[in-house]
Structure 1
């Protein structure tokens, strides 16, 4: 088994709705669905999408 690292992620309400619904429909645990989504993004080989204002808002939310 590979070593896994715990992450705390803030998500939007629309993401939360999907993360409540999709695992049941796909018969997958929520963390596995998130891991598969991350793998799909990483497999594309593209860098992260830059949204500077989103980071400003995120920092304000966390504080």
Structure 2
């Protein structure tokens, strides 16, 4: 079994009671239930993590657009046309 790291947490009394009941109902230890909850949260939140490299690429792209300046010619649409679509 992989080495475990000891963590101490504080729970409100109702969370402690709920944890104990869930662990009993599921037939797992309270620690196993907490590990499962952490895994589920990590899986759920992974898409929300920011990728600094992606932001740097986007920033470089924006800076290139700024350096290129305005596009020659005139636009062929009016702002109000966009709202009518």
TM-score, normalised with respect to structure 2: 0.50
Once the two structures are superposed, what CA deviation does each residue of 1:6-41 show, in whole Å capped at 9, x if it has no partner?
Answer: 000011122111111011100111110010000000
Root-mean-square deviation (CA, aligned residues, Å) is 1.3
Looking at structure 2, the residues matched to 41 and 3 of structure 1 have their Cα atoms a distance apart, in angstroms, of: 21
Which has more radius of gyration?
A: 2
Aligned length: 47
Structure with more contact order per residue of length (Cα contacts < 8 Å, sep ≥ 6): 1
Partner of 2:12: 12
